Amino acid sequence: MLPEPITKLLIAEDQAEDAEQVISVLRNSGIALRPQRISTEEELAVTLESFTPDMVLANPNCKEITLAAIAHALDATGKDVALLVLTDRLTDDLVTRIHTHSSIRGIALRTRTDQLQAVVRRELDALDTRRNVRRLEAALRESERRCDALLDSSRDPIAYIHEGTHVRANNAYLEMFGFDSFEDVEGLTILDLVAPQHTADFKDLLKRLARGEKPPPRLDLSVKRADGTTFDAVMEFAPATYEGEPCQQVVFRQPASNPETEEELRRLKTQDPLTGLSNRTHFLELIDDAVARAIGGTTDQALLLLEPDNYRHVLESVGITGADDVLRAIARTIKQRLRASDNAGRIGDHVFGLLLSGCAQAEAQQISESLRSSLEAAIIEAGGHSISLTISIGGSLLGEKNAKSQVLLSQADDALRAAAGQGGNRIDIHDPAAADKAELARETQWLDLIDDALANDKFTLYYQPIINLHGEEGEFFEVLLRMQGPTEEVMPALFLPIAERHDRLLAIDRWVIEHVIAELGKRVGQGPTTTAFIKLSVLTLSDETLADWVDAKLAAAGVKAAQLVFEVPEAKVMTCLKPAREFVERWRKGGGGFELEQFGMGLNSFQTLKHIDADYLKLDRAITADISQHAENELKVRELCSQAHAAGKMTMVEWIEEASSMPALFSAGVHFAQGNFLAPPAPEMRYVT
């Protein structure tokens, strides 16, 4: 999964506390921020010299800077910056003032966190779209320039036709028709080059093209040279642009001397040799074509992804050679169930794709069920064994709103993972038009799995070693949570948001704490002291009974409070400052440890330590990522470590993925490091040095 892109946010606000509150609200919604605050025109000018924001949130009531001044300064940078007004309430005067500035894109209400988050996300999406469009336009211009440069070197006769008239032709085209230069053909209609016996049909084709109809992929006809002689040719059409104008690219080819050989070559180019279905490259091209049709208004298309459940166990049963028999059997079933208008392909080792046209959700569900039930009932002969298997199918309907190939594939893949994660042998089809209803049903299923995991100990703990870079004694572990799904372990990013929405986090946190304490109890007296770092939710942090409950569990297991370090993100602590401060004071007084994670991205993160006296500070990964390659990040880490040392706090860095980061972290004074490069998580506490 790609990391959340970091948004450079500039806030025009008189009070730092008010700005911090807004930052916390946005971070808690999952928006990664690198914020700056200004309150005067002078600060704005200085800041814009070294900091180019993606978005500006401006309080219109700032004492020493106006909306007009902010808008003018942003316009002067020449950058595309999303400017939003940040206010407590709407007034007629404010709305009037806003509409006098065309660069202001909207209003965010600080008193309505849901609206604030939604408006910011909408504008960030719009900004990203505008930037992508500019990048695509630049890439298109460059591609067209290169294509035009390559046109004359092509051995294929190629011409560009606009409204039936030649606007560009390469040397091979001129040579084929006997013209000396492009001036001889410029302004000449392509109809003038068609032999008389095909003129009527070709004129009809030109009329259809003028109405916007799609041209045939190829056309066999006779054409005539400049001297009037004729010859047989094959025309191939493709939509194109020339100098910004839409046109048709026409390629002329000589008819194949051996049509059967040509057809065999075409088949080998597009077909998967094992299954006879489309290969990955060709199937992805078919998806692109379907997306183009959806953009043009075509409805009732769908993409299905299919894979056998527990494929690793299937391989163990039939072996590598038998696996080919299994895949061929699945492909045969797919071919039997598809309609003439549908396409199927093998797009992964054991993943198949089905592209359905003229197919609403009910029909897609029906086709999927036919495939699922047929394969469930089948006995497959593979590698000398007779086996049965089940499949999972995930899909997405294709419409104008999700008409992007990667989006469509991602939605179908998410649905496939959901179907497999809930036990397999089932179907999950995403309908963008009915997303809310489908999401509710999926969430209910996930909630049932969470409740089952709580009731029957179906959570699993992993322990990732935390390496002390300065050699102090002891073993340190980050505790990571997984949930046992019906067929495979489920990562917390999939189920914790649902658990939070349905008030299950308190129970999950207690389950984790209880099981970690039990594991620590087994290690008492066996080697170095072990310390476990456990993530807590804000809900648990606000639980007044938590500290006493933990003390009782520690006493029963013979574990010291110092062996537990609870950690909460800095931004989330700021949303429940009073109960968080009370818990941390109570917990640390008893000897326990506390860590602020995702630390260092606030306007003044060390101000938080005046309220929350944490022992450890885990630096935000946005600061520490690629530290060896970004001098700005290394400087920020050094600055934070220096301040932390002065305050008597220990620092930690996570997600270490390569050796090149270690020298910079060590020289910056980081105390602890954690990441898969150093040691991956394991289901038992196994420390590496």
Alpha-carbon gap, residue 537 to 568, rounded angstroms: 7
In 3-state terms, what secondary structure has residue 376? Answer: helix
**Which helix (H) or strand (E) is 381 found in, with range?**
strand 380-382
Q: Are residues 130 and 278 in the same domain?
A: no
Q: Are residues 210 and 329 in the same domain?
A: no
Instruction: pLDDT band for 1, please (50, 70, 90 cuts).
Output: very low
Highest-pLDDT range among 49-53, 250-254, 482-486, 614-618: 614-618
What is the rounded radius of gyration, in angstroms, for the C-alpha atoms of the chain?
Answer: 32
Number of domains in the chain: 4
Which tokens is 23 given? 């930052």
In a domain, 296, yes or no: yes
In a domain, 288, yes or no: yes
pLDDT digits (tens, 9 = 90+) for 231-244: 999 999 888 888 87
What is the pLDDT at residue 437?
A: 62
Alpha-carbon gap, residue 421 to 497, rounded angstroms: 16
What is the pLDDT at residue 263?
A: 65
**Domain with 519 in it: what CATH number?**
3.20.20.450
In a domain, 130, yes or no: yes
Q: Are residues 462 and 386 in the same domain?
A: no
413 alpha-carbon distance from chain centroid = 12
What is the pLDDT at residue 170?
A: 93
In a domain, 403, yes or no: yes
pLDDT at 6 over 90: no
pLDDT at 104 over 90: no
Burial pattern 528-567, b for ≥16 Cβ within 10 A else e, equals: eebbbbbbbbbebbbbeebbeebbebbeebebbbbbbbbb
Determine the average pLDDT of the residues in 445-467. 95
Which tokens is 33 given? 């921020």
- Given CA atoms 237, 294, 337, 426 in this order, what sign does their dihedral have? positive
What is the pLDDT at residue 278?
A: 94
Instruction: pLDDT band for 575, please (50, 70, 90 cuts).
Output: confident
Alpha-carbon gap, residue 483 to 490, rounded angstroms: 5
The residue from 144, 175, 192 where one domain ends is 144
What is the pLDDT at residue 256?
A: 60
pLDDT digits (tens, 9 = 90+) for 305-323: 999 999 988 888 898 888 9
Q: Are residues 480 and 611 in the same domain?
A: yes
Alpha-carbon gap, residue 466 to 495, rounded angstroms: 25
**Domain with 230 in it: what CATH number?**
3.30.450.20
The residue from 255, 279, 303 where one domain ends is 255
Determine the average pLDDT of the residues in 387-414. 92
Q: Are residues 183 and 65 in the same domain?
A: no
What is the pLDDT at residue 3?
A: 47
Closest-CA residue to 168 (of 146, 152, 192)? 152
DSSP string, 72-141: HHHHHHT---EEEEEESS--HHHHHHHHT-TTEEEEEETT-HHHHHHHHHHHHHHHHHHHHHHHHHHHHH
Give the Å distances, CA to CA, from 504 to 70, 270, 449, 511: 44, 50, 12, 11
What is the pLDDT at residue 259?
A: 62
Determine the average pLDDT of the residues in 164-183. 93
Q: Are residues 232 and 341 in the same domain?
A: no
The residue from 230, 255, 280 where one domain ends is 255
Q: What are phi and psi of 599, to 5 degrees?
A: -90, 145
pLDDT digits (tens, 9 = 90+) for 131-158: 999 998 888 888 878 888 888 888 899 9
DSSP string, 280-303: HHHHHHHHHHHHHHHHTT---EEE
In a domain, 680, yes or no: no
In a domain, 681, yes or no: no
Alpha-carbon gap, residue 185 to 169, rounded angstroms: 8
Instruction: pLDDT band for 359, please (50, 70, 90 cuts).
Output: confident
pLDDT at 435 over 70: no
pLDDT more than 90, % of the chain: 58
**Domain with 137 in it: what CATH number?**
3.40.50.2300
Q: Are residues 539 and 624 in the same domain?
A: yes
Q: What is the Cβ-side half-sphere exposure of residue 29, based on CA atoms within 13 angstroms?
A: 17
Q: Are residues 531 and 661 in the same domain?
A: yes
What is the pLDDT at residue 622?
A: 83
Q: What are phi and psi of 547, to 5 degrees?
A: -60, -45
Q: Are residues 217 and 277 in the same domain?
A: no
Instruction: pLDDT band for 210, please (50, 70, 90 cuts).
Output: confident
**Domain with 426 in it: what CATH number?**
3.30.70.270
In a domain, 437, yes or no: no
Q: Are residues 240 and 122 in the same domain?
A: no
- Phi-psi domain of 471 (left: phi exceeds 0; alpha: psi -120 through 50; beta: other): left
Alpha-carbon gap, residue 271 to 287, rounded angstroms: 15
pLDDT at 412 over 90: yes
What is the pLDDT at residue 377?
A: 93
pTM: 0.55
Closest-CA residue to 662 (of 643, 645, 675)? 675
Instruction: pLDDT band for 98, please (50, 70, 90 cuts).
Output: confident
What is the pLDDT at residue 2?
A: 41
Q: What is the Cβ-side half-sphere exposure of residue 208, based on CA atoms within 13 angstroms?
A: 10
Burial pattern 237-246, b for ≥16 Cβ within 10 A else e, equals: beebebeeee
Q: Are residues 54 and 36 in the same domain?
A: yes
What is the pLDDT at residue 551?
A: 96
> Is the distance from CB of 167 to CB of 161 less than 8 angstroms?
yes
What is the pLDDT at residue 297?
A: 85
pLDDT digits (tens, 9 = 90+) for 485-538: 888 889 998 899 899 989 999 999 999 999 999 999 999 988 899 999 999 998
Determine the average pLDDT of the residues in 434-462. 85
The whole-chain average pLDDT of the chain stands at: 89
In a domain, 215, yes or no: yes
Range of the domain at 644: 451-673
Q: Are residues 458 and 587 in the same domain?
A: yes
pLDDT at 107 over 80: yes
pLDDT digits (tens, 9 = 90+) for 583-608: 999 999 999 999 999 998 877 889 88
